[in-house]
């Protein structure tokens, strides 16, 4: 009996190994197929990002046009860099990868893990007219190495180059008869008023009042408050050299912004538990939806996203019908300007890992995705289902739930070459943008948009090739930045300088200074003084 | 196995085939774990070389060129890195506390459970105590946040209502360490009692009867019968824990951490994650991992040696 059992066990094991081998060998060959990365936002009520109405549309389109089979590989949006790293390291990255992190691409490119697209682009340019029409030489060759001419990635286009707005509760301002704040002093007075009138505003939930809310990604959530302390005469060169951290940590002056937040924290104006909730956690959103949060800084469209599941709709449901966040402009700099420092108009970076055995098929995918009618459908969907057409031709988005839901605004996660509504007509774009958010009155978006464009300053592109000191440092520096900013902000006012300065010193010593130095030298090398 | 000697004297070959006939299936069974260890433990060990080489993801470790400074570049780099030194200190600190506070806990619980006379209550307590073992640290961290957060945590709300100040369980370094240790005990105490309870149930009841005849009370019986009888088990588990003194769990500190306590929650495993997996510095972090393993082996061997000196059986 024992013998039989043992033999049986061993045989099953061997058989298992054999079958596993066979399965691997049985992969469909002959038919062309590619895999494409897709962000998974885990949005409430959303559909599976790798298999839904939109992926079916793309798959069908690619099959009909090029006879190429497309498979999607989901990657969590908020940990995309980590997951992509794992996939790349394991040799399992999709054929078409998308990321916001240039250093990740550079690191792998150095090891020979990323395909040089330059020869392919040159050879097949004639077959890719729509790609060129959408991105132009500028975005396609944005990161072309100035010395070797290699192109490891192309840059998606950012139609609406936006950043953060300041949001406050419009209904609370009205209730307390406060005017929209126009400067820091008024803004602070408003926060204090929210706090002091908590029982008027929240009734029995008065103890839940959060006049101002932030998250652990303070560098983002302090923008544009912290950049209002940057002197207006700062040069583009300086901004670029110190601009490797997209949260502007090493820009001169931003420390004062954090000092203000530190003061507010100690005055009890800020959500006390924010340091405990990790990046991407939905607790803060839920507090906004419940109506406890008076003001916050965030992406220009943040409260208006996600239709029925979003902050705007839920706030009305859970609080009162007139409850809403409205964008205000209240942090002027030393020249009295409400500066918004915007990055160059590029978005995600698209690259092919070296494991991509059929880069031409992947280029065809990009071409298909750049074609106006395809991306237009992905962005606005069906008339009557996803949008209505207004009298002036503008497109108004409708709330969609169920299988035809868009997991990201205008499906930006699928239109990997394009962030922002582009209907092929500039006038129409602007008219439609304000209508692009279902269930949100036009004026809220118009106000945020107008504020965004007011006094905006766009940094130019300085292409110097790979910056060695940045390789492999992004994650560690990011963690250091978030850690010391949070620690400094929650410290007693008297300790703020000590904690901030020692944190900054550690940040610079751990690699930040090396990057600044290398950028300074590279700038000199390519652009003189 | 001995030949009866009546027939022919069997040849060597014959002996072997007899032996295989008799024990072959056992070897076949042994083959499975051996294959497992070779494939999943020994072959990957060739990648230890990465610690001494310039890493390139697309080459085998044999092809990669050696790192600078005779291959020790990354060890030097690690020990020059402040974060690593902190991680080293924190790993030692947290594991030592775990050992001092966490190690005796299941022994105590096992003895307490053993003294319970009501069978169903004993069973019930035991089951409840080992349930948390099956929860992942991510879930426990979520629970901890719900219970222990300063303003919205249930425990602190109760404290506030009783007129006390909130206790910053999670957002002050010293308190966080205690929370960390306590949650660790809570999660593993029941599971770890299983081995001790098994050892206790193996004690000859006559020993207790004899002790009773000599007039020993309950406490005396625990001290003079139960504890000495499970001593070998305790020693072996202690040696194994000492072997892990520089080893570190990843999910427990990673799930429980937050920016305010990073000065104590950054351990070697999270350092390796930040620099190695997220920062792609594989050579550096392999060097760290190798250092960690070597220190663990040294601890394990010395603990083993000491326990043998004291007349215990040891594990090697």
Per CB-CB distance under 8 Å, the chain B contacts of A113 are 57-58
pLDDT mean values, one per 10 residues, chain A (529 residues) = 59 55 46 93 88 95 95 92 86 93 86 92 95 93 91 92 93 95 96 95 92 94 94 94 92 96 96 88 92 95 89 92 94 94 91 93 96 94 90 86 87 92 84 82 90 90 86 86 94 96 94 94 89
Q: Which domains does chain A have, with CATH numbers?
A: 31-161+346-423 (3.40.190.10), 164-342+460-465 (3.40.190.10)
DSSP state of A309: G
Q: Which residues of B touch A6 (CB under 8 A)?
A: 25-26, 28-29
A351-410 residues touching B, CB cutoff 8 A:
354
Shortest CA gap A114–chain B (Å): 11
By C-alpha distance, the chain B residue nearest A108 is B57
**Does A275 touch chain B if contact means CB atoms closer than 8 Å?**
yes
Task: Give yes or no for A463 touching B (CB within 8 A).
Answer: no
- Percent helix / strand / coil, chain A, rounded to 5: 50, 15, 35
**Pick among A79, A276, A353 to test the B interface (most B CBs inside 10 A):** A276
- Please report residues of B whose CB lies closer than 8 A to that of A82: 277-278
Mutation target among B29, B165, B279, B286 for the A interface, most CBs of A within 10 A = B279
Residues of B in contact with A506 (CB under 8 A): 82
Residue A121: Cβ within 10 Å count: 19
Nearest CA in chain B to A268: B151
pLDDT by residue (tens digit) across B50-71?
899 888 777 788 888 888 888 8
Q: For residue B212, what are the contacts with CB-CB under 8 A and spacing of at least 6? A: B221
From A490, which residue of chain B is nearest by alpha-carbon distance?
B260
Q: Peptide bond before A224: cis, by omega within 30 degrees of 0?
A: yes
| Per-residue confidence band for B105, with pLDDT thresholds at 50, 70 and 90 | very high
Q: List the one residue out of A182, A229, A191 whose CA is nearest residue A330.
A: A182
Tell me if A306 sits within 8 A of A222, measured CB to CB. no
> CB of A168 within 8 Å of any CB in chain B?
no
Give how far Cα B293 sits from Cα of B45, B48, B285, Å: 12, 11, 12
Distances (CA, A) of A60 to A65, A129, A445: 8, 21, 35
A6 touches chain B (CB under 8 A): yes
| Chain B residues closer than 8 Å to A17 by CB | none
**Average pLDDT in chain B:** 87
Q: What is the pLDDT of residue A24?
A: 43
Least CB–CB distance from B152: residue in A9, A88, A273: A273
Chain centroid to CA A185: 30
SS3 call for A182: coil
In contact, B252 and B137? CB cutoff 8 Å:
yes
CB A113 within 8 A of CB A84: no
- CATH, domain B62-121+129-309, list 1.10.3720.10, 3.50.50.60, 2.40.50.140, 1.20.1070.10: 1.10.3720.10
Is B258 within 8 Å of chain A by CB? yes
Contacts of A273 in chain B (CB under 8 A): 149-152, 171
Q: Do B57 and A113 touch (CB under 8 A)?
A: yes
Rg (Cα) of chain A, in Å, rounded? 25
Would you call B80 an interface residue with chain A, using a CB distance cutoff of 8 Å?
A: no
- Spell out which residues of chain A touch residue B81, defining contact as CB-CB under 8 Å: 510
Residue A102 is predicted with a pLDDT of 87
Yes or no, beta carbons of B278 and A272 under 8 Å apart = no
Confidence at residue A28, expressed as pLDDT on a 0 to 100 scale = 46
Q: How far apart are alpha carbons A362 and A30 in whole angstroms?
A: 16
Report yes or no: A424 and A372 within 8 Å, Cβ to Cβ: yes
Helix, strand, coil percentages (3-state) for chain B, rounded to 5, are 75, 0, 25
pLDDT of residue A86: 85
Among the partner-chain residues A108, A473, A506, the one whose CB lies closest to the CB of B279 is A473
Q: How many CB atoms lie within 10 A of CB B316?
A: 8
Within 8 A of A280 by CB-CB distance, chain B residues are none
Alpha carbon distances (Å) from A138 to A100, A421, B267: 18, 20, 45
Nearest to B274 among A112, A278, A475 (CB): A475
Tell me: the pLDDT tens digits for A78-116?
A: 888 889 988 988 889 999 999 998 888 988 888 888 999
Whether A495 and chain B come into contact, CB under 8 Å, resolves to no
ipTM reported for the complex, 2 dp = 0.76
Question: Quick check: B29 contacting A, CB < 8 Å?
Answer: yes
B218 touches chain A (CB under 8 A): no
* Chain A residues within an 8 Å CB radius of B173: none
Interface residue A112 vs chain B (CB under 8 A): yes
Q: Is B128 exposed, middle or buried (0-12, 13-18, 19+ CB in 10 A)?
A: exposed
| pLDDT of amino acid A11 | 61
Strands A210-213 and A340-342: unpaired
Residue A326: predicted pLDDT: 96
pLDDT digits (tens, 9 = 90+) for B216-261: 888 899 999 999 999 888 988 888 888 888 877 899 999 999 988 9
């Amino acid at each position: 009996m024992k013998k039989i059992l043992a033999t049986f066990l061993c045989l099953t094991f061997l058989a298992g190994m054999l079958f596993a081998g066979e399965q691997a060998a049985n992969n469909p060959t002959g038919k062309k197929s590619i895999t494409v990365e897709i962000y998974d936002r885990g949005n409430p009520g959303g559909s599976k990002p790798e298999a839904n109405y939109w992926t079916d549309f793309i798959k069908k389109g690619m099959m009909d046009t090029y006879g190429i089979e497309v498979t999607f590989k989901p990657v969590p949006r908020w940990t995309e860099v980590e997951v992509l790293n794992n996939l790349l390291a394991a040799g399992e990255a999709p054929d078409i990868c998308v990321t916001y992190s240039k250093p990740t691409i550079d690191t792998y490119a150095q090891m020979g893990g990323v395909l040089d697209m330059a020869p392919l682009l040159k050879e097949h340019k004639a077959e890719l007219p729509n790609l060129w029409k959408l991105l132009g030489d500028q975005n396609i060759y944005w990161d072309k190495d100035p010395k070797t001419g290699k192109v490891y990635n192309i840059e998606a286009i950012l139609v609406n180059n936006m950043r953060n707005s300041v949001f406050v509760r419009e209904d609370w301002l009205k209730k307390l008869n406060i005017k929209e704040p126009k400067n820091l002093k008024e803004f602070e007075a408003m926060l204090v008023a929210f706090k002091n009138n908590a029982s008027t505003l929240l009734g029995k939930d008065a103890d839940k009042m959060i006049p101002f809310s932030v998250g652990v990604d303070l560098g983002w959530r302090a923008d544009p408050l912290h950049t209002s302390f940057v002197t207006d005469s700062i040069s583009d060169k300086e901004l670029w050299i110190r601009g490797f951290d997209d949260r502007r940590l090493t820009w001169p002056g931003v420390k004062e912004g954090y000092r203000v937040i530190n003061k507010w924290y100690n005055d009890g104006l800020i959500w006390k538990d924010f340091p405990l909730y990790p990046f991407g956690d939905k607790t803060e959103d839920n507090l906004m939806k419940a109506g406890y949060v008076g003001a916050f800084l965030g992406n220009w469209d943040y409260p208006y996203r996600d239709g029925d599941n979003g902050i705007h709709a839920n706030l009305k449901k859970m609080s009162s019908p007139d409850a809403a966040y409205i964008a205000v402009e209240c942090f002027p700099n030393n020249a009295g300007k409400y500066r918004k420092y915007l990055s160059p108009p590029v978005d995600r970076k698209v690259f092919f890992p070296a494991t991509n055995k059929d880069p031409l098929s992947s280029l065809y995918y990009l071409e298909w995705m750049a074609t106006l009618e395809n991306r237009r459908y992905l962005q606005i969907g069906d008339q009557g289902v996803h949008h209505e057409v207004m009298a002036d031709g503008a497109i108004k988005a409708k709330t969609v739930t169920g299988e035809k839901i868009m997991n990201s605004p205008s499906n930006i996660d699928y239109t990997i070459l394009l962030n922002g509504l582009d209907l092929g007509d500039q006038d129409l774009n602007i008219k439609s943008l304000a209508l692009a958010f279902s269930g949100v009155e036009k004026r809220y978006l118009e106000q945020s948009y107008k504020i965004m464009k007011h006094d905006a300053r766009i940094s130019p592109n300085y292409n110097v090739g790979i910056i060695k000191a940045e390789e492999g440092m992004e994650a560690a520096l990011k963690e250091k930045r978030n850690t010391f900013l949070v620690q400094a902000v929650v410290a007693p006012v008297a300790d703020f300088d000590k904690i901030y300065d020692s944190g900054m010193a550690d940040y610079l010593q751990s690699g930040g200074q090396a990057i600044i130095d290398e950028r300074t030298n590279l700038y000199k090398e390519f652009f003189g003084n | 196995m001995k030949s009866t000697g009546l027939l022919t004297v069997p040849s060597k070959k014959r002996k072997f085939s007899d032996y295989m006939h008799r024990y072959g299936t056992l070897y076949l069974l042994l083959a499975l774990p051996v294959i497992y260890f070779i494939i999943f433990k020994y072959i990957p060990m060739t990648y230890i070389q990465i610690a001494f080489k310039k890493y390139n993801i697309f080459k085998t470790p044999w092809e990669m060129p050696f790192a600078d400074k005779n291959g020790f570049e990354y060890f030097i780099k690690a020990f020059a890195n402040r974060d690593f030194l902190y991680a080293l200190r924190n790993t030692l600190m947290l594991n030592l506390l775990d050992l001092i506070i966490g190690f005796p806990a299941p022994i105590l619980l096992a003895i307490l459970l053993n003294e319970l006379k009501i069978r169903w209550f004993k069973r019930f307590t035991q089951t409840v105590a080992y349930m948390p073992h099956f929860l992942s640290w991510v879930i426990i961290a979520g629970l901890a946040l719900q219970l222990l957060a300063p303003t919205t945590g249930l425990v602190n709300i109760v404290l506030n209502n009783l007129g006390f100040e909130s206790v910053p369980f999670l957002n002050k370094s010293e308190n966080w360490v205690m929370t960390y240790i306590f949650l660790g005990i809570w999660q593993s105490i029941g599971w770890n009692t299983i081995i001790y309870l098994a050892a206790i149930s193996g004690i000859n009841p006559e020993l207790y009867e004899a002790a009773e005849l000599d007039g020993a009370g309950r406490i005396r019986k625990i001290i003079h019968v139960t504890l000495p009888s499970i001593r070998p088990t305790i020693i072996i588990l202690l040696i194994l824990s000492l072997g892990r003194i520089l080893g570190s769990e990843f999910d427990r500190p990673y799930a429980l951490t937050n920016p305010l306590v990073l000065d104590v929650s950054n351990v070697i495993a999270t350092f390796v994650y930040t620099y190695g997996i997220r920062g792609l510095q594989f050579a550096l972090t392999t060097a760290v991992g190798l250092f960690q393993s070597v220190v663990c082996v040294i601890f394990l061997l010395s603990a083993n040696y000491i326990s043998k000196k004291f007349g215990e059986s040891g594990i090697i």
